[in-house]
């Protein structure tokens, strides 16, 4: 969209709101599509998550569909809309029903305030709430849960994705007080920070992305936690940990399984996440690498595997 200025010249395209209306069960798939097409940030309206024991399910806050949206540059927005519509038809409609994408001008409102209203505390595991810094503690944890304060930003891991939640639940189920923990591919630091909140004695966190390293350090500072955080891969001779988190993907994890086994002490555990549910062969690969599979956490399209080094 172009607009005329007061002197009649054409100005640069304004930002637009790209929104997809969909079934509550489809929000993760839709959000992933928007990110793939270059959306600079994605928010979800009309949905929250409920944790019942080991089961996590989407809970609509009101009748009707959920809305997944982003603010995108007007230049190229029409092409982005077409690409999103094509992806929705292929990857969402056959499984969750029709999803409607649209572009609209932004209303004149405080978008910082609007964004903050859209990011609310989330119960991500039994006893643990992830909340943005602007939330009130009394609103974040009504049942006595621990609160992990995380600033939503460029790094991955604020509890709104199934791979984060499944990896978190798998790892925390094996955590013991005083454990030495490694968080590989730390993102915002949510997994390692949660382990510290639940009694871990030491955390080492690694990520290849400098923005993730910065985000992890900020999460730890905000929650008055301390850890060894470094940019780079897991050191080849890393001291074996009691518990290792690695929420990456099956493709990334497979060639690392031998090294990950070596980074876990005898009797220790690895919580491996980001693995697609339709990848049952990953369990056999874990066993072939010398792990004993003790538990799987499945939610939506993702599974996390809790492995023990015998």
CATH number at residue 88: 3.30.70.260
CA angle 123, 212, 285 (to 5 degrees): 75
Residue 138 lies in a domain: no
Residue 46 lies in a domain: yes
CATH number at residue 270: 3.40.50.150
Residue 259 lies in a domain: yes
- Tokens 């493709």 correspond to 251
- Range of the structural domain that residue 303 is part of: 160-308
Are residue 178 and residue 295 in the same domain, yes or no?
A: yes
Are residue 106 and residue 14 in the same domain, yes or no?
A: yes
Residue 209 lies in a domain: yes
At 85, which helix (H) or strand (E)? helix 77-91
Are residue 112 and residue 17 in the same domain, yes or no?
A: yes
* Residue 221 burial (CB count, 10 A): 10
Are residue 98 and residue 236 in the same domain, yes or no?
A: no
pLDDT attached to residue 11: 36
The per-residue DSSP string of 112-146 comes to: HHHHHHH---EEEETTEEEE-TTS-HHHH-SSS-E
Residue 52 lies in a domain: yes
Check residue 263 and report its DSSP letter. Answer: T
Regions of the chain with pLDDT less than 70 = 1-13, 46-63, 107-118, 139, 142, 154-155
pLDDT attached to residue 7: 38
Residue 1 lies in a domain: no
Q: What is residue 29's three-state secondary structure? A: helix
Residue 147 lies in a domain: no
Q: Using DSSP bridges, classify how beta strands 228-231 and 202-207 pair: parallel, antiparallel or unpaired.
A: parallel
CB distance 186 to 192 below 8 Å:
yes
| Beta-strand runs (E) in 150-201 | 180-184
Are residue 286 and residue 166 in the same domain, yes or no?
A: yes
CB distance 173 to 154 below 8 Å:
no
Number of domains in the chain: 2
227 token code pair: 């850890």
Alpha carbons 120 and 212: distance in angstroms, whole number: 21
Are residue 296 and residue 166 in the same domain, yes or no?
A: yes
Residue 247 lies in a domain: yes
Phi first, then psi, for residue 100 (nearest 5°) are -105, 120
- Tokens 């923990």 correspond to 181
User: From the CA atom positions of the chain, what is the Rg in Å?
Assistant: 21
Q: Which of 118, 145, 168 is the last residue of a domain?
A: 118
Distance from the Cα of residue 74 to its chain's centroid: 27
Are residue 170 and residue 292 in the same domain, yes or no?
A: yes
Are residue 67 and residue 167 in the same domain, yes or no?
A: no
């Amino acid at each position: 969209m172009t607009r005329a200025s007061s002197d009649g010249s054409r100005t640069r395209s304004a930002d637009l709101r790209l929104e997809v209306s969909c079934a509550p069960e489809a929000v993760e798939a839709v959000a992933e599509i928007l990110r793939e097409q270059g959306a600079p940030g994605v928010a979800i309206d009309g949905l929250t998550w409920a944790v019942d024991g080991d089961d996590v399910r989407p809970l609509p806050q009101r009748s009707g569909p959920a809305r997944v949206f982003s603010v995108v540059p007007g230049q190229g927005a029409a092409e982005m809309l077409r690409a999103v519509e094509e992806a929705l038809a292929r990857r969402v409609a056959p499984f969750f029903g029709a999803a409607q994408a649209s572009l609209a001008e932004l209303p004149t409102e405080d978008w910082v305030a609007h964004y903050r209203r859209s990011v609310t505390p989330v119960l991500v595991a039994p006893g643990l709430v992830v909340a943005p810094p602007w939330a009130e503690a009394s609103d974040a944890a009504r049942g006595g849960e621990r609160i992990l304060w995380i600033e939503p930003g460029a790094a991955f891991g604020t509890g709104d994705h199934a791979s984060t939640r499944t990896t978190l639940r798998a790892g925390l189920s094996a955590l013991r007080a005083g454990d030495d923990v490694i968080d590989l591919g730390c993102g915002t630091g949510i997994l390692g920070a949660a382990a510290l909140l639940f009694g871990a004695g030491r955390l080492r966190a690694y990520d290849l992305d400098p923005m993730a390293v910065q985000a992890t350090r900020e999460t730890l500072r905000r929650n008055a936690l301390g850890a060894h955080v470094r940019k780079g891969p897991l050191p080849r001779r890393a001291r074996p940990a009691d518990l290792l988190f690695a929420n990456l993907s099956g493709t990334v994890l497979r060639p690392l399984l031998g090294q990950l086994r070596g980074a876990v002490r005898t009797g220790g555990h690895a919580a491996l996440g980001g693995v697609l549910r339709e990848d049952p062969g990953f369990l056999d690969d874990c066993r072939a690498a010398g792990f004993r599979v003790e538990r799987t956490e499945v939610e939506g399209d993702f599974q996390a595997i809790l492995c023990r080094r015998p």
